[in-house]
């Protein structure tokens, strides 16, 4: 895992501070409440960020929800305690934190241990005169870079090995173990030189109280999924009882990160888009449309490769990956391919996507398989989409807790006969015989397994009674004489089958995708002829916040009506445009819009006034064509809806070069 330094779309080294400063200057995003000093992990999207987000969500809806007739629902963020207790979030959705007793600083325990040990290992390498290789950065690490300097101190070989082994398992320690590591290795907060307090669990959900009394605790949801699970039966009915089907939700979720520091990648409030695809667990989880995607090639980093300590990937058709068993089933594979196609469509760099399989210890115990779509950014490989097979876990726990039948009842094609051992109790005799324990003994009998019942039948016929363990009654064992009970094998006919569907869950972190997309589309237009280097965001037209910049050549009053008419025509076709009639030079105005990622520019000039023709400029090549308004608008439409590329348009319309000279003369 050596560093592959981050690069721009054109392969230039990525200057993250320059990009960040441009994104803030152009108001793609801005820290929330900045004039009040800001709050870590909270950001606002300004107009271009908001537009980019809306377009990506729109593309997501078309690609997933509309294409597959998914049932989109919109659920409450406020969630009562009991729901998240059942889902496991109240008990398990936590990080370990410790406090520095001297300055009160709160530290995330695993990050703290990891960082100090890494610094010691670096110090050891320095002391040994070895080259300190940076590992691939990941945001968990990056955010702590400012902590503690590296001191060149040589360590024993055994210590080095111990540290390395600890770091390899850092995600698996619980609070007590992290506390022991802190004591054992005497890990001190570099800021104060003291050991932090033992780690305590910090639940990552924002808690609040619903209603005026304080006895209705609630949380802001940490994911949109629970609302979809709770509505399962209604959704199934809405879908006219047809299986399989998927629900989908786009909405905010909240995680109270202990100390968020990786910009847009680790935030406390974020937009998620989640799909819950409900599928019959029997029949190998086939997908009816798998054939359509089977040849899509994905870059996979599977579990075995990671176990062997490598990060080497393979590019493989999803059909093959499922056939080989690398990916657990067709439905999961189908969604991996669809996720890939979606990321491609919105402009994610194809060389910066990989699908990483979760290690067994990363997955929840109930999960059958799980893959993350990771995007390469200057913070390293970032998990942007998770795609898990969650088995029947969620529906089962909520059904068990509430008694609601979160199941599918399916009419069998033909009735089936079921042979089974049945227990019948003679209630009239049972009560008088066992008195106050009657109900308890009866319940114990009813809960027995088929195997136990077979034993009982044997015992009854052989010895005239059966013996059953009933904790709390007498000495814990009860003898039931054959006068009170019949145990026999009977045949019953079933017309329906009941099952709890399994859930395949593609879950998208929209904010992370947006950030990765901005890095992937960014490049810098070299400083030709003494110009400063200028930033460009080469968003595909489909997701670009604004599609067309309209610039009048100068402030000459003749141009204004042409610009207005053009913007109205574009608006009618649903194409967003913006007129820039400021007094800046055309070059400066285009520059500003390169930074905003606007793919196309129209110039209205004196020729327009004469013959109604306009020029159309391509952001990426800065080439221009000239034609009449209708042909230009037609070309724009086809590029925005993705049916044509600039290259095709360029081939069809007459090229145009430099009107500025002529104009200077004429004005």
Residues 57-86 close enough to bind a copy of itself by CB under 8 A = 66-67, 69, 71-80, 82-83
- For residue 664, the tally of other CB atoms under 10 A from its CB is 9
Stretch of 171-179, 256-264, 300-308, 327-335 lying at the interface with a copy of itself (CB under 8 A): 256-264
Residue 347-386 contact track with a copy of itself, rule CB under 8 A, x = bound: ----------------------------------------
Nearest distance from residue 77's CB to a copy of itself, in Å?
6
Beta strand extents in 500-569 (DSSP E only): 502-509, 522-525, 534-537, 548-552
111 near a copy of itself, rule: CB under 8 A: no
Report CA torsion sign: 393, 399, 400, 402.
Answer: positive
Paired tokens of 561 = 């009506």
Nearest distance from residue 251's CB to a copy of itself, in Å?
8
Nearest distance from residue 400's CB to a copy of itself, in Å?
11
Q: Of how many residues is the chain composed?
A: 667
Paired tokens of 479 = 């003898």
Q: Which of 2, 146, 240, 664 binds a copy of itself (CB under 8 A)?
A: 240
Strands 534-537 and 548-552: unpaired
Neighbour-count burial for 599-610, b at 16+ CB within 10 Å, e otherwise: bbbbbbbbbbee
Nearest distance from residue 567's CB to a copy of itself, in Å?
9
Half-sphere exposure of 360 (CA within 13 A, CB side): 2
Nearest distance from residue 107's CB to a copy of itself, in Å?
9
615 near a copy of itself, rule: CB under 8 A: no
Is the Cβ of residue 211 or residue 309 nearer to a copy of itself in the bound state?
211
Is the Cβ of residue 215 or residue 308 nearer to a copy of itself in the bound state?
215
Is the Cβ of residue 233 or residue 634 nearer to a copy of itself in the bound state?
233
Is the Cβ of residue 209 or residue 495 nearer to a copy of itself in the bound state?
209
Nearest distance from residue 64's CB to a copy of itself, in Å?
13
Token pair 């300097």 is at which residue?
149
Chain CA centroid to CA 275, Å? 10
35 near a copy of itself, rule: CB under 8 A: yes
- For residue 583, the tally of other CB atoms under 10 A from its CB is 8
Nearest CA among 212, 221, 280 for reference residue 256: 221
175 near a copy of itself, rule: CB under 8 A: no
Stretch of 410-418, 558-566, 577-585, 646-654 lying at the interface with a copy of itself (CB under 8 A): 577-585
- C-alpha 45/C-alpha 57 separation (Å) is 14
Stretch of 121-129, 235-243, 284-292, 293-301 lying at the interface with a copy of itself (CB under 8 A): 235-243
Token pair 């529906």 is at which residue?
395
Nearest CA among 46, 90, 505 for reference residue 273: 505
3-state secondary structure of 247: strand
Nearest distance from residue 237's CB to a copy of itself, in Å?
8
Q: Which residues contact 612 (CB under 8 A, 6 or more apart)?
A: 628, 629
Is the Cβ of residue 33 or residue 127 nearer to a copy of itself in the bound state?
33
Is the Cβ of residue 86 or residue 357 nearer to a copy of itself in the bound state?
86
20 near a copy of itself, rule: CB under 8 A: no
- C-alpha 227/C-alpha 341 separation (Å) is 27
Between the CA of residue 273 and those of 227, 235, 333, 573, what are the distances in Å?
Answer: 13, 18, 19, 27
413 near a copy of itself, rule: CB under 8 A: no
Q: Backbone dihedral region of 217: left (phi > 0), alpha (psi from -120 to 50 degrees) or beta?
A: beta
411 near a copy of itself, rule: CB under 8 A: no
Q: Which of residues 192-231 bind a copy of itself (CB under 8 A)?
A: 202, 206-213, 216, 218, 220, 227, 230-231
Is the Cβ of residue 439 or residue 571 nearer to a copy of itself in the bound state?
571
Nearest distance from residue 653's CB to a copy of itself, in Å?
25
The radius of gyration computed from the CA coordinates of the chain, to the nearest angstrom, equals: 32
**Structural element, H or E, at residue 335:** helix 330-346
- C-alpha 658/C-alpha 506 separation (Å) is 49
Is the Cβ of residue 547 or residue 631 nearer to a copy of itself in the bound state?
547
Nearest distance from residue 362's CB to a copy of itself, in Å?
24
Is the Cβ of residue 66 or residue 152 nearer to a copy of itself in the bound state?
66
Nearest distance from residue 44's CB to a copy of itself, in Å?
4
Nearest CA among 247, 226, 331 for reference residue 65: 247
Binding residues with a copy of itself: total (CB under 8 A): 76
Tell me how many degrees the CA angle 374-379-385 measures, rounded to the nearest 5: 20
Is the Cβ of residue 360 or residue 412 nearer to a copy of itself in the bound state?
412
475 near a copy of itself, rule: CB under 8 A: no
345 near a copy of itself, rule: CB under 8 A: no
**Structural element, H or E, at residue 203:** strand 200-203
Is the Cβ of residue 78 or residue 359 nearer to a copy of itself in the bound state?
78
50 near a copy of itself, rule: CB under 8 A: yes
């Amino acid at each position: 895992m050596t560093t592959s330094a981050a690069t721009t779309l054109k392969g230039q080294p990525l200057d993250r501070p320059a990009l960040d400063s441009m994104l803030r200057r152009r108001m793609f995003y801005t820290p929330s409440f900045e004039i009040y000093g800001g709050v870590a992990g909270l950001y606002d999207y300004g107009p271009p960020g908001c537009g980019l987000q809306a377009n990506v969500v729109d593309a997501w809806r078309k690609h997933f929800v509309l294409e597959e007739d998914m049932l989109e629902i919109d659920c409450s963020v406020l969630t009562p305690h009991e729901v998240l207790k059942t889902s496991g979030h109240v008990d398990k959705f936590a990080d370990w934190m410790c406090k520095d007793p001297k300055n009160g600083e709160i530290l995330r325990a695993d990050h703290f241990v990891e960082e100090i040990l890494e610094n010691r290992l670096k110090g050891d390498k320095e002391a040994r005169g070895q080259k300190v290789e940076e590992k691939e950065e990941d945001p968990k690490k990056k955010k702590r870079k400012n902590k503690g300097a590296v001191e060149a101190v040589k360590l024993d070989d055994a210590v080095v090995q111990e540290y390395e082994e600890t770091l390899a398992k850092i995600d698996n320690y619980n609070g007590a173990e992290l506390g022991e590591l802190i004591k054992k290795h005497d890990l001190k907060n570099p800021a104060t030189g003291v050991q932090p307090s033992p780690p305590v669990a910090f639940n990552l959900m924002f808690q609040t109280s619903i209603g005026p009394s304080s006895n209705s605790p609630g949380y802001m949801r940490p994911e949109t999924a629970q609302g979809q699970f709770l509505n399962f039966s209604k959704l199934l009915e809405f879908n006219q009882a047809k299986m399989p089907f998927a629900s989908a939700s786009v909405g905010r979720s909240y995680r109270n990160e202990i100390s968020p520091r990786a910009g847009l990648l680790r935030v406390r409030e974020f937009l998620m888009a989640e799909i819950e695809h409900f599928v019959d667990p029997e029949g190998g989880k086939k997908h009816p449309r798998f054939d359509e995607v089977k040849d899509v090639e994905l870059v996979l980093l599977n579990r075995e490769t990671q176990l062997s300590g490598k990060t080497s990937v393979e590019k493989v058709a999803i059909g093959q990956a499922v056939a080989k068993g690398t990916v657990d089933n067709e439905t999961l594979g189908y969604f991996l391919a669809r996720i890939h196609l979606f990321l491609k469509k919105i402009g994610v760099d194809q060389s910066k996507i990989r699908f990483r399989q979760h290690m067994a210890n990363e997955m929840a115990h109930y999960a059958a398989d799980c893959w993350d779509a990771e995007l390469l950014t200057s913070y390293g490989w970032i998990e942007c989409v998770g795609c898990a097979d969650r088995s029947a876990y969620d529906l089962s726990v909520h059904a068990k807790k509430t008694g609601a039948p979160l199941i599918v009842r399916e009419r069998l094609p033909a009735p089936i006969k079921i042979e089974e051992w049945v227990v019948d109790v003679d209630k009239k005799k049972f009560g008088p015989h066992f008195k106050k324990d009657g109900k308890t003994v009866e319940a114990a009998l009813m809960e027995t397994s088929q195997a136990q019942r077979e034993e009982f039948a044997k015992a009854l016929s052989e010895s005239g009674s059966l013996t059953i363990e009933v904790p709390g009654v007498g000495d814990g064992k009860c003898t039931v004489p054959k006068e009170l009970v019949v145990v026999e094998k009977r045949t019953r006919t079933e017309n329906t089958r009941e099952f709890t569907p399994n859930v395949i869950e593609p879950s998208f972190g929209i904010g992370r995708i947006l950030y990765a997309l901005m890095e992937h589309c960014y490049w810098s237009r070299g400083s030709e002829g003494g110009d400063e280097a200028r930033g460009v965001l080469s968003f595909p037209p489909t997701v670009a916040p604004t599609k067309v910049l309209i610039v009048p050549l100068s402030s000459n009053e003749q141009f204004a009506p042409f610009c207005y008419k053009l913007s109205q025509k574009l608006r009618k076709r649903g194409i967003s445009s913006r007129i820039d009639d400021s007094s800046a030079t055309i070059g400066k105005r285009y520059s500003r819009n390169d930074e905003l990622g606007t793919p196309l520019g129209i110039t209205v000039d004196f020729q327009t006034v004469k013959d109604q023709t306009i020029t159309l400029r391509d952001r990426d090549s800065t080439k221009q064509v000239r034609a009449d308004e209708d042909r230009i608008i037609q070309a724009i439409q086809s590029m925005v809806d993705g049916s044509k590329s600039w290259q095709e348009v360029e081939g069809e319309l007459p090229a145009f070069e430099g009107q500025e000279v002529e104009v200077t003369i004429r004005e």
